[in-house]
Amino acid sequence: MAQPLAREVVEEIAKQYGVCIRPVPLRRQDILTGQVEVIDVPCGATLESKCPPCAKRNRQLRRAQCREGWHLEAEPVNLPDNADEYQRHLVELRADAQAWRDEVEKAGGDTTDLDAAIEDLDEEINRAGMRGNVLGRASGKRSRSTKRRQDAPDLPKRQMTKTTLGRTFTGADGKTYRPSMFVTLTLPSYGRVLEGAPPDPDRCDYVRAARDALHFSKLVDRFVQNLRRVAGYDVQYFATVEPQKRLAPHLHMAIRGTLPRAELRQIIAATYHQVWWPSTDVVRFEGKHLPVWEDGAGYLDPTTGEVLPTWEQALDALDQDDEAEPLHVLRFGDQLDIQSVLAGTPDADQLIQYLSKYLTKSLGDALGTDDPRRKAHAERLLEALRFEPCSPTCPNWLRYGVQPKGAKPGMAPGRCRGKAHKPDHLGYAGRRVLVSRKWSNKTLTEHKQDRRTWVLEALGLPDEPVDPHRYIWRPVKPGDPDLAPIGVRLLRSVHERQRWRNHLARLEAEADGQDLMTNNELPVWRLGTGSRQQVSTPKIWTPSPIERPCPSLVAG
Ligand SMILES: [Zn+2]
Ligand SMILES: [Zn+2]
């Protein structure tokens, strides 16, 4: 069926129909009927995914989520969601993947792919609306000695009220206004950059750039803490982390409610984060001179046989050392942009478009450019990241004479598989969309559910909850005889989508006819080339795609 068509052609068709081009095949067994089917689940795709239809759908959902919460007029009610079928399925899959991984490891095989798959699954599970770690591991927070505790910066502090809503103001006309804010935060300069590359690379501080990117999300957390303390209410935000041309991550944040501009500037200037990790000043092991693993003991100095300090021991030593300095201190740069926004204005809508505009680009997209100067710039940053520890479990700690947390055989500095070291991430391995818990009444999963319900209603199908225990899901391995070639599977999905569309078009044509006969004033919906367009209600304002460039992108 798919033989005459090249894979690319089929993918193009699939994209036009909004069909996932990297579906995950799963074998579903219905325990009531005994029926077994192979079902393609959309890859679900992270925002920067290489699957454009899924990434686009995610972006639309994110916009809806952002709009929903920005100017909320009543406190959101957050009820714990029951794990739905999809979530349960993910958890089961996660358990299977872990079991395979452990088997492969026991047999001495390469676990790279499985590790990556497990990481993706964990992310997807969190995205699906569950909080915390599936394995239920306690976070094991250390109680740091008091002198290490970061002081709250010297900032005004208001009495905390329980509300998450911003203040409203009544204008002279008696109208109520609900102002909010849109803030862009950047990291400091690491040296002069022109058109995305430094004219003098030797004067560019790549180590600092690398560390700032690695710990950027912590700095954002600090900012939110400080913001709440000063604002005196439970400030909610929807933020996206995006790449700057100079390759540093930066942040756009929609904030519910408003603060005086001067105070916000004060908070940004006072916010800092200290990284209390062991020192990396001295390289103890490199090249062929590397620590060796001994079962039962851990990593040893290859010359003296001395056991290297474990991660916990290294942190304890750090705690007891009065002279110790933090490994790194982060602050925001002075390039910042603060805008006030009113609910329901064109500005608010443009900014929402803008927030999600770059989400499908990865932080390291500049690597793919043809400009040799920018390419070299990215490669120097990658080189700085190569031996920089990305987390307590990073094998790079061995280079500095510390056993990584959870040390195991086969670790070597410079060979960390963590995302942060990869060209696509350039140090920032955190989430690209940060949404506070009480942003809106809906989680992303619920927004997805809304769309599903809409389609099912339009099709006249019942949206009945499915008993989550009815199906047993199993992964399908490549080469499984039941698995049709990808081209065939994509075409099937396209066909299915076509069927839906035709059905919807028929329903709408019927509705059109009725509406037009009974009341000409009613809005008429018409299905065009796949997008819903409202054609007859008078438009108050038409959102146009925002082309205003990001201030820091221009400057950076
Ligand atoms: Zn996909
Ligand atoms: Zn690492």
pLDDT digits (tens), the chain, 556 positions: 445 457 788 888 888 888 888 887 878 888 889 888 887 777 765 555 568 888 888 788 888 888 888 988 888 875 444 555 566 666 666 776 676 677 767 777 667 666 766 776 666 666 555 444 444 443 444 555 444 455 556 788 888 888 899 888 888 888 888 899 999 999 999 998 888 788 888 899 999 999 999 999 999 999 999 999 999 999 999 999 988 888 889 999 999 999 999 999 999 999 999 999 999 999 999 999 999 999 999 999 999 999 999 999 999 999 898 888 899 999 999 899 999 998 778 888 899 988 887 776 777 765 567 788 888 999 999 999 999 999 999 999 999 999 999 999 999 999 999 989 998 889 998 888 888 888 887 766 666 666 666 666 655 555 555 565 677 777 787 788 888 888 888 888 888 888 877 877 777 777 666 543 333 333 333 333 333 333 333 222 222 333 333 333 333 2
Distance, in Å, from the CA atom of 527 to the CA atom of 500, rounded to the nearest integer, reads 12
Q: How far is the CA of 121 from the centre of ligand 2 (A)?
A: 19
Residue 155: the pLDDT is: 83
- The ligand placed nearest to the CA atom of residue 46 is 1
Joined together, the tokens standing for residue 120 give 């993706």
Q: Which residues surround ligand 2, an ion (CB under 5 A)?
A: 390, 394, 416, 418
Residue 502: the pLDDT is: 80
Joined together, the tokens standing for residue 6 give 């090249």
- The ligand placed nearest to the CA atom of residue 56 is 1
Q: How far is the CA of 332 from the centre of ligand 2 (A)?
A: 24
Q: In this structure, are residues 412 and 290 in contact, taking their beta carbons and an 8 Å threshold?
A: yes
Residue 548: the pLDDT is: 35
Q: How far is the CA of 36 from the centre of ligand 1 (A)?
A: 23
CA-to-CA separations, 51 to 55, 60, 380, 382, 455, in angstroms, rounded? 6, 15, 29, 25, 22
Q: How far is the CA of 390 from the centre of ligand 2 (A)?
A: 4
Q: Is 38 helix (H, G, I), strand (E, B) or coil?
A: strand
- The ligand placed nearest to the CA atom of residue 421 is 2
- The ligand placed nearest to the CA atom of residue 50 is 1
Question: What is the reported pTM?
Answer: 0.74
- The ligand placed nearest to the CA atom of residue 21 is 1
Q: How far is the CA of 490 from the centre of ligand 1 (A)?
A: 11
- The ligand placed nearest to the CA atom of residue 20 is 1
- The ligand placed nearest to the CA atom of residue 53 is 1
Q: How far is the CA of 55 from the centre of ligand 1 (A)?
A: 7
Q: How far is the CA of 253 from the centre of ligand 1 (A)?
A: 27
Q: How far is the CA of 393 from the centre of ligand 2 (A)?
A: 7
- The ligand placed nearest to the CA atom of residue 18 is 1
Joined together, the tokens standing for residue 523 give 């809005």
Q: What are residue 249's DSSP bridge partners?
A: 243
Q: How far is the CA of 407 from the centre of ligand 2 (A)?
A: 13
Residue 503: the pLDDT is: 75
Q: How far is the CA of 441 from the centre of ligand 1 (A)?
A: 27
Q: How far is the CA of 5 from the centre of ligand 1 (A)?
A: 20
Q: How far is the CA of 522 from the centre of ligand 1 (A)?
A: 37
- The ligand placed nearest to the CA atom of residue 412 is 2
C-alpha 171: how far from its chain's center? 39
Q: How far is the CA of 422 from the centre of ligand 2 (A)?
A: 10
Q: How far is the CA of 190 from the centre of ligand 1 (A)?
A: 37
- The ligand placed nearest to the CA atom of residue 11 is 1
- The ligand placed nearest to the CA atom of residue 425 is 2
Q: Give which of 420, 422, 402, 421 is closest to 411, Cα–Cα.
A: 402
Joined together, the tokens standing for residue 39 give 């079902």
Q: How far is the CA of 280 from the centre of ligand 1 (A)?
A: 41
Q: How far is the CA of 415 from the centre of ligand 2 (A)?
A: 8
Residue 465: the pLDDT is: 57
Joined together, the tokens standing for residue 87 give 């979530």
Q: How far is the CA of 301 from the centre of ligand 2 (A)?
A: 21
Residue 41: the pLDDT is: 74
- The ligand placed nearest to the CA atom of residue 392 is 2
Q: In this structure, are residues 218 and 273 in contact, taking their beta carbons and an 8 Å threshold?
A: yes
CA-to-CA separations, 32 to 28, 29, 35, 339, 463, in angstroms, rounded? 12, 9, 8, 57, 19
Residue 139: the pLDDT is: 40
Q: What are residue 239's DSSP bridge partners?
A: 253, 434
Distance, in Å, from the CA atom of 454 to the CA atom of 22, rounded to the nearest integer, reads 24
Q: Is 160 helix (H, G, I), strand (E, B) or coil?
A: coil
Joined together, the tokens standing for residue 380 give 């120097």
Which residues, other chains included, contact 44 with Cβ-Cβ below 8 Å and sequence gap of 6+?
Answer: 24, 54, 124, 127
Residue 529: the pLDDT is: 32
